[in-house]
Amino acid sequence: MNASLTVAGLGPGAWNRVEPTTQQLLLDDVNVVIVRTLQHPAAAELARHRPVTTCDDLYLSIQTFDDVYEAISKRVLASAQQAPTVYAVPGSPLVGEFAVRHVRDAAAAAGIECRVIPGESFLDALLAAIGYDPLDRGLRLLNGHELPSPLVIDSPTVIAHLDQPVVLADALAALQRIMPEQTRATVVVDVGGDEQRLVEGALEEIDPALAGLRTSLFIDAQPGGLVGVVQTMWRLRHECPWDRRQTHDSLVKNLVEECYELIEAIAANGDGTQYGAVEDELGDVLLQILFHAAIARQEGAFDIEDVAENLRQKLVRRHPHVFGTVEADTAEEVKANWEQIKRAEKPTAAASVLDGVPIGMPGLERAAKLQRRAAEVGFDWPEVTGVIDKLREEIGELEQALGDRVEDEIGDLLFTVVNLSRHLAVDPEVALRGTIGRFIKRFRAMEVMGPLQSLTASELDQRWEKVKSDE
The tens digit of pLDDT for each residue in 81-98 reads: 999 999 999 999 999 899
Q: Are 118 and 92 in contact (CB under 8 A)?
A: yes
pLDDT for 450 equals 85
Helix (H) or strand (E) holding 182, with range, is none
Cβ count near 104 (within 10 Å): 18
Question: Residue 394's pLDDT is what?
Answer: 82
Alpha-carbon gap, residue 216 to 144, rounded angstroms: 9
pLDDT reading at 350 higher than 80: no
Residue 403's pLDDT is 67
Q: Which amino acid is at 319?
A: H
Residue 5 three-state SS = strand
Lowest mean pLDDT among 80-89, 284-293, 428-437: 428-437
Partners of 85 in the beta sheet? Answer: 5, 32
Query: Quick one: 20 exposed, middle or buried, by C-beta within 10 A (0-12, 13-18, 19+)?
Result: exposed
pLDDT, tens only, 182-230: 999 999 999 988 889 999 999 999 999 999 999 999 999 888 888 889 9
Q: Which position has the higher pLDDT, 319 or 361? A: 319
Tell me what the mean pLDDT of segment 352-371 comes to: 77
Measured CA distances, 392 to 209, 283, 397 (Å): 73, 45, 9
Rounded to an integer, what distance in angstroms lies between the CA atom of residue 265 and that of residue 350?
Answer: 41
Mean pLDDT of the 359-384 span: 79
User: Does the pTM of the predicted model rise above 0.85?
Assistant: no
Dist. CA 387–CA 380, nearest whole Å: 9
CA distance 328 to 337: 8
Mean pLDDT of 405-431: 86
CA distance 281 to 100: 48
149: confidence class by pLDDT, cuts 50, 70, 90:
confident
pLDDT at 110 over 70: yes
| Confidence at residue 348, expressed as pLDDT on a 0 to 100 scale | 58
Please say whether the beta carbons of 14 and 194 come within 8 A.
Answer: yes
Q: What is the DSSP letter of 205?
A: G
Per-residue pLDDT, 359: 75
| Res 85: pLDDT | 95
Binned at pLDDT 50, 70 and 90, residue 307 comes out as very high
d(C-alpha 85, C-alpha 165), whole Å? 35
* Cα–Cα distance, 53 to 87 (Å, whole number): 9
Cβ 53 vs Cβ 34: under 8 Å: yes
Is pLDDT above 90 for 396? no
Alpha-carbon span 68 to 75, nearest angstrom: 11
Specify the pLDDT at position 39. Answer: 92
* CB contact at 8 A, 73 and 109: no
Average pLDDT over residues 173-185: 92
Question: Which of 470, 451, 438, 439 shows the shortest CA–CA distance to 460?
Answer: 451
DSSP one-letter code for 11:
B
Span 2-31, average pLDDT: 92
Phi, psi (5° rounding) for residue 186? -120, 125
Asked, as a colleague might, if the bond just before 150 is cis with ω within 30 of 0, I would say: yes
The predicted-structure confidence for 35-78, as pLDDT tens digits, reads as follows: 999 999 999 999 999 999 999 999 999 989 999 999 999 999 99
Amino acid at 342: K
Q: Judge whether 158 and 217 are in contact, CB under 8 Å.
A: yes
Query: What does each C-alpha distance from 313 to 245, 316, 326, 336, 339 come to in angstroms?
Result: 33, 5, 17, 19, 16
Distance CA 405, CA 398 (A): 9
Q: Answer yes or no: are the C-beta atoms of 183 and 175 closer than 8 Å.
A: yes
Residue 142 has pLDDT above 80, yes or no: yes
The CA-based angle 252-253-256, given to 5 degrees, is 90
Element (H, E) at 462: helix 457-470
The phi, psi pair for 436, rounded to 5°, reads: -60, -45
Tell me if 102 sits within 8 A of 73, measured CB to CB: yes
Distance CA 40, CA 96 (A): 15
DSSP assignment of 4-46: -EEEEE-BSS-GGGS-HHHHHHHH-TTSEEEES-S-SHHHHHH
Determine which of 195-204, 228-237, 333-342, 399-408 has the lowest per-residue pLDDT on average: 399-408
